[in-house]
Amino acid sequence: MTIDTSKGFTLTRELDATPEQIWNAWTVPDEMAEWWHPRDLHTPREAVDADLRVGGAYRYTMVDEAGETHPSGGVYREVTPTEKLVFTWGDPSVDPDDNPIVSVGIRSLGELTRVTLEVQGVDGNRGDQYFYDGWDQALDGLVQHLGQTDVFG
């Protein structure tokens, strides 16, 4: 199966945080567990594993209010510390090449840092209560994880 890269969406946030702080939030399992999930779900720390290198796999399992688990994972395609992270994302039991691709760009703007999240391979629109809204809520969680209350994006 080949991912249809004509499908996708982009989300951005401008954060009062350093590129290093944002990078760590995306790559350190202790931090990933704190925010990498939509609202009304949580990710237990023991359910996060990341082999941060090109070709390395990551996996995390989100848990909803009813206790149902939602595993996710993929393979890192590009790892450029404090600048860019590209990975496949989806069902970890499926060939990673059959899952959407997520690209996270981190760019210093001086006092703020812009995070640009691009998802390729699935459609997403505000209000879909699925891909777009899930990532949008996760980025709101990132903002909160970094100790901020305002979301610029």
pLDDT, tens only, 139-152: 999 999 998 765 55
Q: Where are the domains of the chain?
A: 8-145
pLDDT tens column, 29-85: 999 999 999 999 999 999 999 999 999 999 999 999 999 999 999 999 999 999 999
Query: Residue 130's CB: how many other CB atoms inside 10 A?
Result: 13
Q: How far is CA 10 from the centre of its chain?
A: 12
Q: How far apart are CA 56 and CA 41, in angstroms?
A: 25
Burial class, 116, CB count within 10 angstroms (exposed 0-12 / middle 13-18 / buried 19+): middle
Look at the domain 8-145 and name its fold.
Alpha-D-Glucose-1,6-Bisphosphate; Chain A, domain 4 (3.30.530)
pLDDT on residue 150? 56
